[in-house]
Amino acid sequence: MDKTIICRCEEVSLHDIQHTAATYNCSAREVKLRTRAGMGYCGGRTCRPAVDAVLEAATGEKAGHDIPMKVQPPVRPVSLSVLGGEVK
């Protein structure tokens, strides 16, 4: 059993994706919905290439980009002075 984490935000492992695809014989989109892979805080910005590659291997289906990824802004705005370390 491979416990390599593919989606850190939702803690979805390679095994979770492969097991879901094999058990339910579902499409790549359905696997994402069942496992929540790529649906965490980053909105798939970090893991999407890995998730797409694993889903293609598991389901034989190429990644479809018909449904655009949602854009998720930061939880709260941060000023550039805070990022740069400048004290007010």
pLDDT in tens, 13-50: 999 999 999 999 888 888 889 999 988 888 888 888 88
CB atoms within 10 A of CB 81: 10
Contacts of 8 (CB under 8 A, 6+ apart): 40, 46, 47
Decide which of 14 and 61 is more confident. Answer: 14
- Does the structure show a pLDDT above 70 at 70? no
At 67 the pLDDT is: 53
C-alpha dist (Å) from residue 9 to 12, 37, 62, 68: 8, 8, 23, 19
Judge whether residue 54 has pLDDT over 70: yes
Percent of the chain with pLDDT over 90: 26
- What does pTM read for this prediction? 0.67
Domain membership of residue 38 as a residue range = 5-84
Based on the structure, what is the number of domains in the chain?
A: 1
Burial of 14 (0-12, 13-18, 19+ CB in 10 A): middle
